[in-house]
Structure 1
């Protein structure tokens, strides 16, 4: 028996950030899942790329990556496992600046992250999760962007797995030493 899950999009509390569920076709053999279809994105009024770089991370259970916001649009998801995605609007002129959105992401759920919105996640899978990033601009050293400490209490993010700030298998030294959101926003506003 064939079951089809149609393409859907859901707006979030951050201007321009969407949760996307691509078309999936299930039958007795398994699932065919579209990861990206330009025409579906275009018809929904969302960016259709083009994607210039794809990165895949493998992340162990409980580890956090981010919060990072570069001058690029990202389309993110998992190809294996599950993560708890966290997004913060760090765009000084945005109508939703400071808004925080969290999304449980499993295979079949994607998030379109606009330029300047911070992106981070915690792996919630047993074993590892594989998180795929599609970028509309190639990453390069020194490109505009910012980072915020993912444990900044002012953000109110409740990570599902407790994080030991001194455990480098859970959080990098760079992320643990990143400024607070207030500090980052002040530097962006004064730039």
Structure 2
């Protein structure tokens, strides 16, 4: 007998950042997840522009990617593995400017990330995490946006696994060199 987990959304501490539980059908052979159904998003009052690019990253356990807030909307989800996700509102005109939201991510959970909200995650499982990004714009080097150091203590992000800042397989030089939250907000 199949178990049906219905589509549901939750607002977060960041305006416009929504946590989404995908509709899922769990049965003896495994699970079918609705990655995207336009009518479900519309019924939940979530307007979604058309996606122009979809990426899947495979990230080794313990590695961190982010915090990046490009000028595009993102829909993110875990296809395989687990991660700890963190988001920071870096929008100059947002009532939740500077707010941070964190949550565990696993298959079946999505996050709709508004333009200008920084997105980051740490792979937390025993195997690499496959992280899916749907973008409303095609990514190009140097595109408009903001980056914040994922290790800025002012963010209060509680990355579950220790990060060796000298190990490029755990964090990139670019992410380490990103400004602090205070520096990024002062520039906006």
Q: TM-score range by the shorter chain?
A: over 0.9
* SS of structure 1 residue aligned to 2:158: coil
RMSD (CA atoms): 0.8
Distance 1:81 1:137 in 2: 26
1:30 matched to 2:57: no
> Residue 142 of structure 1 corresponds to which residue in structure 2?
142
Post-superposition Cα deviations, 1:62-115, rounded to whole Å, max 9, x if no partner, equal 000000000000000110001100000000110000100001110000000000
User: 111-120 or 43-52, which moves further after superposition?
Assistant: 43-52
For 1:19-168, what aligned pairs fall within 5 Å after superposition?
Answer: 19-168=19-168
* SS of structure 1 residue aligned to 2:175: helix
Q: How far off is 1:125 after superposition? A: 1.2
Distance 2:130 2:145 in 1: 24
Distance 2:180 2:33 in 1: 38
CA contact (8 A) 1:60 1:127 kept: yes
Q: How far off is 1:30 after superposition? A: 1.4
CA contact (8 A) 1:82 1:104 kept: yes
For 1:177-188, what aligned pairs fall within 5 Å after superposition?
Answer: 177-188=177-188
* SS of structure 2 residue aligned to 1:130: strand
- 4+ residue runs over 4 A deviation: none
* SS of structure 2 residue aligned to 1:183: helix
Q: How far off is 1:171 after superposition? A: 0.3
Q: How far off is 1:48 after superposition? A: 2.6
Q: Given the two structures, how large is their TM-score scaled by the length of structure 2?
A: 0.98
CA contact (8 A) 1:39 1:48 kept: no
CA contact (8 A) 1:155 1:181 kept: yes
> Residue 6 of structure 2 corresponds to which residue in structure 1?
6
Distance 1:177 1:48 in 2: 32
Post-superposition Cα deviations, 1:151-185, rounded to whole Å, max 9, x if no partner, equal 00011111000111111110000101111010011
CA contact (8 A) 1:81 1:128 kept: yes
Gaps of 5+ in 1: none
Distance 1:84 1:44 in 2: 25
